Amino acid sequence: MAAEFRHIVRLVDRDVDGAKTVVDAISDIKGIGLRLAGIIAHKVGVPPTARIGFLSSEKIEEIEKVIKNLTKSGLPSWLFNRRKDLESGEDKHLISSDIDLTVKADIEREKTLWSWRGYRHAYSLKVRGQKTRTTGRTGKTVGVSKKKAR
């Protein structure tokens, strides 16, 4: 543990508050939840209740290395957020902006295949089976009359 406290810690291209615990700071990264953050902290050997501002730069680099190589760190595949990727066929864990880019690419692939989900996305309709009779309406309000002013 380092003796000096850092108020802002750079962790995987994100500034994290140094007063947060290790688990909370790691879970601030998009794509990593509390459970996975606790597992990462345990794997690195840092107590999960320690403040991230007190960690040495070597420990932070070690945490970053584990986060960037989750598939090679010996974790079970059911912890990953992208299993059996369509292009490569392997289990991956995406973080930060990779998640947004992959979701956009998946939606565009569905649209070009003109699958049912792609059709629903293309016409800005509900995709996951929700009802559309009363919700998700766009445009001018119909069937509602305002009270007349006297």
Helix orientation angle between 34-44 and 57-68, rounded to the nearest 10 degrees? 120
For residue 59 the two structure tokens come to 């420990």
Residues of the chain with pLDDT under 50: 1-2
- pLDDT tens digits for range 26-45: 999 999 999 999 999 999 99
Residue 120 CB-density burial (10 A; 0-12 exposed, 13-18 middle, 19+ buried):
middle
pTM: 0.77
- pLDDT tens digits for range 121-142: 999 899 999 998 888 888 777 7
For residue 146 the two structure tokens come to 């305002």
Please give the Cα distance from 150 to 4 (Å, whole number): 70
Residues β-bridged to residue 109: none
- Structural domains for the chain: 8-78 (1.10.8.50), 79-122 (no CATH)
